[in-house]
Structures are given as C-alpha cells and as structure tokens.
Amino acid sequence: MYGWIFRHLPGPTWFKVIESIVLIGLVAYALLTWGFPWAQDYFGLSESTVS
C-alpha cells in the first residue's frame, strides 16, 4: 500500500519523501483532532474498570 502511494506521488524522489512526511503529519493531526476524541466519546474509553 505504501509503495503504491509513493509511486503515485508526483515529482522526484526527494520531493516524494517530503510529500510523504507531510501526508503522515496531516493524517496524524486529523486523527488526534477528530478521530480519537470521537472514538473516546462513542466507545467510552475514559471509563476505568480497574480498582
């Protein structure tokens, strides 16, 4: 999957590396901003069962 994405990015290899780093950063930001808070509210991950 990552090879397919890397092959389809435009530009020379050094630019593809920069694009890959930016894409990874954007995905991580999106998950930390919207994905994980939604999952915490939906699945109740903040509830502790250890006493």
Per-residue pLDDT reduced to its tens digit, 13-42: 999 999 999 999 999 999 999 988 887 777
Question: Which alpha helices (H) appear in 1-51, and where do they start and end?
Answer: 2-8, 13-30, 36-43
Q: Give the CA count within 13 Å in the CB-facing half-sphere of 32.
A: 6
Q: Which residue would you say has higher pLDDT here, 50 or 5?
A: 5
Q: Which residue would you say has higher pLDDT here, 47 or 36?
A: 36
pLDDT exceeds cutoff 80 at 1? no
pLDDT exceeds cutoff 60 at 51? no
pLDDT band at 48 (very low <50, low <70, confident <90, very high): low
Q: Are 11 and 5 in contact (CB under 8 A)?
A: no
CA–CA separation, 17 and 5 (whole Å):
11
Is pTM, for the whole model, over 0.75?
Answer: no
